[in-house]
Amino acid sequence: MHMMVSKPEQWVKPMAIAGANQYTFHLEATENPGALIKDIRENGMKVGLAIKPGTSVEYLAPWANQIDMALVMTVEPGFGGQKFMEDMMPKVHWLRTQFPSLDIEVDGGVGPDTVHKCAEAGANMIVSGSAIMRSEDPRSVINLLRNVCSEAAQKRSLDR
């Protein structure tokens, strides 16, 4: 679950009861990330931590060893179909360099034309809505996105 809500604390238990296995919240939406991370874990879910484009990646760093996934938003949260913000890729690269085993996701404007930038920067998880849903062949778009990420991850592991 990617929770784009103002009080993420209130939704942890309902999402766990509903069967969510991972709860991703926005760092900007809480005053006590540590307590929220603990609550998510205690409710049996993995933890994802998202940052909006205007938030420094260093703001996420103190929590990186306590989470399962970091999500770098590549659009402003709120609605689909926005243009991909390539200037977010240094955040992805920095996270990959600093936390090599962390799952790193990008969300916003990702499709066949932008996925290579995400994967090369270090993203191994992709959210793609409009590019898939507006495609005449969604299956081929999904396969392309998956293959680009897999190939970049394999190359990273070979380069180590």
E strand spans, 52-109: 69-73, 103-107
As a whole-number percent, the residues of the chain with pLDDT over 90 amount to: 89
- Per-residue pLDDT of 16-39, as tens digits, reads 999 999 999 999 999 999 999 999
Q: What is the mean pLDDT of residues 89-118?
A: 96
Q: What is the mean pLDDT of residues 108-136?
A: 94
- The radius of gyration computed from the CA coordinates of the chain, to the nearest angstrom, equals 15
pLDDT over threshold 90, residue 119 = yes
Residue 152 to residue 160: CA distance in whole angstroms:
13
pTM: 0.93
Task: Supply the pLDDT for residue 100.
Answer: 94
pLDDT over threshold 70, residue 160 = no
The DSSP H or E segment spanning 22 is strand 22-26
Q: What's 20's domain CATH number?
A: 3.20.20.70
- Per-residue pLDDT of 58-73, as tens digits, reads 999 999 999 999 999 9
Task: Supply the pLDDT for residue 158.
Answer: 81
Range(s) of the domain holding residue 22: 2-159
Tell which residue, 12, 32, 14, 31, has the closest CA to residue 23: 12
Q: What is the mean pLDDT of residues 78-88?
A: 88
Number of folded domains in the chain? Answer: 1
